[in-house]
């Protein structure tokens, strides 16, 4: 990273990541594989650095959403198995095979296309079959009257030339939600998944090598769903109620600095639209953190940022590149003082709740112009700025 601008930055604690991984490993047991979800740039944490650490720690698989994300990892020297959860055009099958990337198969049409391309290329494409047990998104539909048709379609895919059906998986819709209805729905999904596996394996006369369905919620709440592999997402990064239950540590902290301080008289309106009016002589700080950095505008005038003297209310509408915070009475906070947006003093869940969203969205929204600092043992071991120079 060539930029020396100390503007807004994210600190990625690789020690916390290691702790979380090792803690989850102990919880799931030594016989269960671990898939680290690193799609969407590892939820904003940096897929290459997180993937590299997962490989170093001994994880069994990584998951991404697209071939571009997979190739980014391969080009960075990451050699461990990678599963693409989303769609890959048939024209890219040769690259999947060449780079040893596993592809999700979600329907008969895609299975046939992938098979034909693999045969044409003269190779074998490793695939995981996706079963739709109630997420109603991707996968072979096997519910109710569709059961036999779904089972037949999956068995057909597994026997197509050029495909190696290593695994089968599904995704839970409400495993992270409380209540008897959600518990019943999750257990129904799991039972349907097991029934599909049993029927397909009986029809094929052989077993899948990897069966997986446990996302973050299921990893914590439904240990019976572990099967051969778990794939925790947000849990690995230490956010949310389930991470708190297991004592995991947040991996990302987002920080900025005070760039300007001005004194305004009572009655002064602040920022676009004048939605905040100073009710007294006000010491107002400007921080270089705005919606282009990932600060949701919906949080305008509703949240606080943390300084060395505690929380300071954000005032007025959040701008593209900056926002204002009320430093009245916080006289030791000066130009250049560090400000925590979220981290050890203010959990990301606080901002997520105020914005009416989930922590995933907050961390994924941290934009590419925010440099990432990677720390181990308290020292910066790598810096990355995604902007091109």
Burial 145-174 (b: 16+ CB within 10 A, else e): eeeeebbebbbebbebebbebbbbbbbbbb
**Which residues is 325 bridged to in the sheet?**
285, 314
Choose the catalytic residue: 262, 269, 272, 383.
272
Would residue 185 show up in a list of annotated catalytic residues for this protein? no
295 and 289 in contact (C-beta within 8 Å)?
A: yes
261 and 296 in contact (C-beta within 8 Å)?
A: no
Please, what is the Cα angle at 28 between 246 and 126, to 5 degrees? 125
268 and 235 in contact (C-beta within 8 Å)?
A: no
Contacts of 342 (CB under 8 A, 6+ apart): 252, 253, 254, 348, 350, 351, 362
What CA–CA distance (Å, rounded) separates 271 from 224? 53
Q: Is 320 annotated as a binding residue?
A: yes
Number of H helices, E strands in the chain: 13, 21
* Short-list 359, 377, 48, CA closest to 234: 359
* Short-list 287, 266, 269, 289, CA closest to 277: 269
What CA–CA distance (Å, rounded) separates 291 from 19? 32
**Which residues is 84 bridged to in the sheet?**
64, 103
Kindly tell me the sign of the dihedral angle through the C-alpha atoms of 341, 346, 351, 352.
positive
* Short-list 39, 44, 142, CA closest to 86: 39
Choose the catalytic residue: 21, 39, 110, 226.
39
Would residue 272 show up in a list of annotated catalytic residues for this protein? yes
Q: Is 6 annotated as a binding residue?
A: no
Task: Provide Rg for the chain, Cα atoms.
Answer: 24
Residue ranges for the known binding site for substrate are 137, 320
User: Which positions are annotated as active-site residues?
Assistant: 39, 272
């Amino acid at each position: 990273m060539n930029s020396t601008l100390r503007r807004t930055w994210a600190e990625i604690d690789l020690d916390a990541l290691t702790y979380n991984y090792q803690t989850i490993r102990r919880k799931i047991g030594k016989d269960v594989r671990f898939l680290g979800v690193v799609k969407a740039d590892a939820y904003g944490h940096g897929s290459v650095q997180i993937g590299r650490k997962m490989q170093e720690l001994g994880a069994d698989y990584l998951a991404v959403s697209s071939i571009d994300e997979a190739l980014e990892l391969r080009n960075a020297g990451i050699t461990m198995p990678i599963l693409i959860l989303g769609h890959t055009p048939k024209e890219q099958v040769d690259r999947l095979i060449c780079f040893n990337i596993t592809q999700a198969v979600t329907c008969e049409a895609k299975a046939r296309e992938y098979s034909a391309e693999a045969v044409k290329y003269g190779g074998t494409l490793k695939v995981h079959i996706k079963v739709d047990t109630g997420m109603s998104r991707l996968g072979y539909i096997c519910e109710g009257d569709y059961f036999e048709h779904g089972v037949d379609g999956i068995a057909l895919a597994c026997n197509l030339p050029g495909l190696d059906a290593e695994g089968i998986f599904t995704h839970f819709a409400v495993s992270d939600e409380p209540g008897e209805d959600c518990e019943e729905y999750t257990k129904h999904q799991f039972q349907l998944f097991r029934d599909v596996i049993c029927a397909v394996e009986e029809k094929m006369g052989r077993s899948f090598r990897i069966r997986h369905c446990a996302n973050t919620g299921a990893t914590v709440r439904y240990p019976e769903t572990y099967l051969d592999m778990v794939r925790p997402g947000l849990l690995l990064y230490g956010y949310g109620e389930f991470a708190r239950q297991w004592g995991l540590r947040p991996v990302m902290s987002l920080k900025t600095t005070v760039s300007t301080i001005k004194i305004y008289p009572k009655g002064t309106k602040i920022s676009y639209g004048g939605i905040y009016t100073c009710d007294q002589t006000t010491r107002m700080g400007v921080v270089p953190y705005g919606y282009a950095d990932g600060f949701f505008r919906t949080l305008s005038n509703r949240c606080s940022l943390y300084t060395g003297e505690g929380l300071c209310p954000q005032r007025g509408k959040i701008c593209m590149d900056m926002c204002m915070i009320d430093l009245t009475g916080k006289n030791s906070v000066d130009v250049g003082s560090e400000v925590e947006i979220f981290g050890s003093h203010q959990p990301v869940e606080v901002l997520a709740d105020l914005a009416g969203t989930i922590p995933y969205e907050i961390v994924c929204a941290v934009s590419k112009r925010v440099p990432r600092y990677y720390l181990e043992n308290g020292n910066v071991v790598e810096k990355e700025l995604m902007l091109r120079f």
